[in-house]
């Protein structure tokens, strides 16, 4: 009898201590945790769990709610915003978050001009401290989605005591949000522990351990063998469907949802031969979206014909359906044929977007070469090098993906088609007529009026083709059945601090 009591006690102790932490597995990577230079999904999502921002979204919705900014007012002309900052908010070392900290952080973003800086620099004219808890921001022009932009991590304040003023920060920032980072071994693991100085509710689970895996197969095996509790980014679509069919058998739950994440090809319009619009248009007609979504994603993803996601107001199917004959005719106009084929490189990154990228690249190659007038050489680079290549204009044609910075159609046109945004994404596109349309839309409140302008923008995209939208993705997460709190939000924010082990 004593033996059984001891065993029961041990099992209870194990259960209690295991509930103190959750292990999350991913194949994604962290590029940087400096909000001034962070512009990839996974890095941003870590920041959303360790830093507090000006505004947040109501859990599970697209509704903006106060966070560090308790309330705000806007002048009649829409150019001046007054923000009231929450009293008592601080970083993990006790440094208060006040108007001076916000001014310092935002001016640092503007000065360093990192990848996401244009989200603020394109619109902010002047930042002023009114008093310790009041910030005034003057805009260059009226921008109806400005507060929404402040929900993205580029606007999250950092601690001036430890953050370099005139260079990017390579280390973990001091926390102001629900978690703080207590360990970070790049591409191995990162440990988040409850931040005792956070002014909001304590996380449901005191510790989150994020383990990094090389590929989807390893990620699935880790979940099935109990090495991890949650798999988030990127499970192979075939594995997702396979696991869903075996949920009860394995004690695993598969979460699937819609998503505004999009995938697309970027075309560097300044690089030969892609500086020829006929070449870009030919590629647009030649691409076979259906074969990608069916073969690679088992119809979990859907073909996309605009940069603005399906289901969003103002979306239209602006890009052409597949027409190989039209592609051949356009290639002839550009001087290419089966006897004189267009030779191009197609780039992808092998792990950042999961294990499917190589298959996608092969199918794109096949669809282009079906014209008999294009020869494709596939190349790849790991994510850090890949980012450097597209920022420097090294690559002419390459795959990228997009998660929303803020939930407004502006976020699917301005970062891509404005001159400042296009440089950050590697297309180097510039069209002042399109930029003026987008600028006009930014100053209008009416959804109907803005929609008309965005429809014109989407039609211009189909003509100029600096990008070829390919498919709209899906949201997924796989977890042990005893894990709760998994919410696939429209914002795509994955909140570790609401996860709980039952």
120-141: pLDDT as tens digits = 999 999 999 999 999 999 999 9
Residue 120 counted as domain residue: yes
Given this model, what pLDDT does residue 8 score?
41
Rounded CA separation 498/20 (Å): 13
**In the prediction, which pLDDT does 442 show?**
97
Report yes or no on 280 lying in a domain: yes
Domain co-membership, 268 together with 243: no
> CA–CA separation, 263 vs 257, rounded Å?
17
Question: Do 447 and 483 sit in the same domain of this protein?
Answer: no
**Which of 124, 155, 186 represents a domain boundary (last residue)?**
155
**Domain region containing 136:** 48-155
The reply to whether 460 falls in a domain is yes
Q: Inter-axis angle of helices 277-286 and 324-333, to 10 degrees?
A: 170
251 and 371 in a single domain? The answer is no
Is the domain of 342 the same as that of 265?
Answer: yes
| C-alpha torsion 72→76→81→82, nearest 10 | -50
pTM, full prediction? 0.92
Confidence at residue 354, expressed as pLDDT on a 0 to 100 scale:
86
Q: Rounded to whole angstroms, how far apart are CA atoms 153 and 33? A: 10
284 with 205, same domain? no
Strand partners, 277: none
Residues 332 and 383 in one domain: yes
Tell me: do 246 and 184 sit in the same domain: yes
User: Is residue 169 in a domain?
Assistant: no
Supply the pLDDT for residue 14. Answer: 43
Query: Do both 77 and 102 map to the same domain?
Result: yes
Domain total of the chain: 3
64-66 and 302-303 as β-strands: parallel, antiparallel, unpaired? unpaired
Predicted pLDDT of residue 18:
60
* Residue 19 pLDDT: 72
d(CA 7, CA 347): 56
- Residues in the chain with pLDDT < 50? 3-16
Residue 40 lies in a domain: no
Neighbouring C-beta atoms of residue 418, cutoff 10 Å = 21
* Domain identity same for 289 and 408: yes
């Amino acid at each position: 009898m004593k033996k059984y009591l001891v065993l029961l006690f041990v099992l209870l102790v194990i259960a209690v201590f295991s509930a103190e932490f959750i292990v999350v597995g991913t194949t994604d990577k962290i590029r940087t945790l400096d909000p001034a230079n962070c512009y990839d999904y996974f890095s941003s999502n870590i920041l959303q769990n360790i830093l507090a921002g000006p505004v947040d979204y109501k859990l599970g919705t697209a509704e903006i709610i106060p966070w560090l900014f308790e309330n705000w007012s806007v002048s009649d002309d829409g150019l001046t915003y007054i923000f009231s900052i929450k009293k008592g908010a601080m970083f993990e070392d006790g440094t208060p978050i006040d108007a001076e900290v916000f001014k310092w952080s935002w001016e640092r973003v503007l000065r360093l001009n990192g990848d996401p800086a244009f989200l603020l620099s394109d619109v902010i004219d002047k930042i002023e401290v009114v008093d310790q808890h009041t910030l005034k921001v003057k805009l260059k022009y009226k921008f109806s989605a400005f507060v929404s932009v402040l929900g993205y991590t580029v606007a999250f304040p950092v601690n001036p005591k430890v953050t370099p003023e005139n260079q990017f920060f390579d280390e973990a920032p001091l926390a102001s949000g629900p978690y703080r980072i207590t360990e970070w071994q790049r591409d191995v693991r990162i440990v988040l522990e409850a931040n005792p100085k956070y002014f909001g509710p304590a996380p449901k689970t005191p510790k989150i351990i994020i383990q990094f895996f090389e590929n989807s197969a390893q990620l699935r095996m880790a979940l099935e063998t109990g090495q991890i509790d949650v798999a988030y980014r990127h499970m192979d679509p075939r594995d997702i469907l396979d696991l869903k069919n075996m949920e009860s058998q394995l004690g695993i739950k598969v979460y699937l949802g819609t998503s505004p994440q999009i995938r697309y090809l970027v075309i560097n319009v300044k690089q030969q031969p892609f500086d020829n619009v006929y070449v870009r248009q030919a590629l647009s007609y030649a691409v076979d979206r259906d074969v990608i979504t069916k073969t690679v994603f088992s119809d979990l993803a859907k073909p996309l014909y605009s940069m603005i996601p399906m289901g969003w107001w103002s979306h239209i199917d602006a890009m052409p359906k597949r027409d190989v004959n039209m592609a051949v005719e356009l290639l002839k106009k550009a001087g290419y044929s089966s006897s004189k084929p267009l030779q191009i490189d197609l780039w992808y990154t092998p792990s950042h977007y999961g294990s499917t990228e190589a298959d996608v690249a092969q199918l794109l190659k096949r669809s282009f070469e079906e014209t008999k007038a294009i020869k494709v050489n596939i190349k790849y680079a790991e994510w850090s090098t890949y980012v450097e290549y597209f920022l420097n204009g090294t690559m002419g044609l390459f795959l990228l993906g997009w998660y929303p910075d803020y939930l407004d159609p502006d976020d699917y046109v301005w970062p891509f088609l404005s001159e400042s945004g296009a440089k950050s994404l590697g297309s180097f596109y510039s069209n002042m007529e399109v930029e003026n349309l987008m600028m006009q839309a930014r100053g209008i409140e009416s959804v109907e009026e803005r929609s008309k302008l965005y429809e014109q923008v989407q039609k211009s995209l189909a003509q100029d083709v600096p990008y070829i939208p390919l498919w709209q993705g899906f949201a997924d997460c796989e977890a042990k059945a005893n894990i709760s709190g998994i919410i696939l939000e429209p914002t795509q924010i994955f909140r570790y601090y609401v996860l709980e082990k039952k």
